[in-house]
Amino acid sequence: MTPSYGGPSPRRQRGIALVLVLWILILLTITTGAFALMARMDQLEANQLLSGTQARFWAEAGLNLAAVALREPDEALRMVADGRPYATEIDGVLIEVSATDERGKLDINAADEATLAILFSNHGMDPGDAEVLAARVMDWRDTDEVERVNGAEEDAYLAEGLTVGPGNHDFILVDEILQVMGMSYELYRRIEPGLTVHSRAGLPDIAYAPAEALLAIPDITEEEALNFVAERQSQESGEGLEITLPNGQSVVARGRGLTYSIRVKATMPNGVWDQLQATIRLGGSAGELPYRVLRWREGFNN
């Protein structure tokens, strides 16, 4: 009889070896799958980055196309700069463009106190608070240190714990109005599309004005402003605009301006998109650049 030494039998050893081999195969499969997944993710990220870069360049191309369309001598063919959308497809890329003549916006350096108060109250601010804010805007842009009724000069800002007082000069950028004491970011976001520092006009030109700027005009509601813009944009270029505001004011301004806000969105065939917004001033003399950028905005989603 063969003595037993208590060690594993050959069959059991083969079983253990098989289990080890299976575990090694599982680990190799997981590792290979992980590397394959990482490689796939890297490829997708690279494609996304490439498509995003291409979309950005297409958006810039759309800006150039808009500048050319705004310089078109024939009014019937010229891009209408009243915020209406235009779309075209080039090599499978959808380019959406809209332009607004800055004459259609309210110039915060030219508007009077009453007009500013109307703008603020029509955008939802309490009428009393709107009058106070309008006075503070006026004190911000005037050159003296005399505080008007409801206004605020440097002492008022310091009393509120603010380290920056009124500029005592015209607003350089629309964004600067955020520094006026009492101006909330929520109100700024509502009124910003209708503001400019380039038109030097005390009231918006209703032939090009967005709804946000039309609310600077007395006796108009937000619904009426939106309906007016929709009706104006439904008319073809070159037609006589036979529409009026509720106060009876009719559209009379035509022709070509010099300064425009342009918004462009480019969408690639795979759905990746990018957009930009720029305020440009068209060149007019021989040897000048076709346009000059006054303001540039990118990286926004709304």
Structure tokens at 94: 């959808």
- Sheet order of strands, 291-298 included: 82-90, 93-101, 259-267, 273-282, 291-298
Q: What is the pLDDT of residues 74-84, one digit of tens each?
A: 888 889 999 99
DSSP-derived letter for residue 253 is: -
Nearest one of 95, 30, 92 to 58, comparing CA atoms? 95
- What is the pLDDT averaged over residues 122-133? 96
User: Taking the CB of residue 68, how many other CB atoms lie within 10 A of it?
Assistant: 12
Residue 283: per-residue pLDDT: 84
Give the CATH fold of the 10-105+204-215+249-302 domain. Pantoate--beta-alanine Ligase; Chain: A,domain 2 (3.30.1300)
pLDDT beyond 70 at 61: yes
Superfamily of domain 106-203: EpsJ-like (1.10.40.60)
Query: For 222-241, what is each residue's pLDDT tens digit?
Result: 999 999 999 999 887 545 56
Q: What are phi and psi of 233, to 5 degrees?
A: -75, -15
pLDDT digits (tens, 9 = 90+) for 66-116: 999 999 888 888 899 999 999 999 999 999 999 999 999 999 999 999 999
Nearest by Cα to 134 from 173, 191, 189, 172: 191
Residues with Cβ < 8 Å from 62, sequence gap 6 or more?
95, 96, 97, 264, 265, 266
| pLDDT greater at residue 56 or residue 11 | 56
Question: Rounded to an integer, what distance in angstroms lies between the CA atom of residue 48 and that of residue 52?
Answer: 6
Full-model pTM: 0.81
Instruction: List C-alpha distances in Å: 179 to 14, 115, 130, 167, 183.
Output: 80, 20, 16, 9, 7
pLDDT > 90 in the chain, percent: 66
Q: What is the pLDDT of residue 24?
A: 82
Residue 9 has pLDDT above 70, yes or no: no
Confidence of residue 13 (pLDDT cuts 50, 70, 90): low
62/171 Cα distance (integer angstroms): 29
Q: How far is CA 211 from CA 50, 243, 248, in A?
A: 37, 15, 17
pLDDT at 1: 47
* 290-299 per-position pLDDT tens digit: 899 999 998 7
pLDDT at site 11: 66
Indicate if the pLDDT at residue 130 is higher than 90.
yes
Domain boundaries of the chain, sorted by first residue: 10-105+204-215+249-302, 106-203
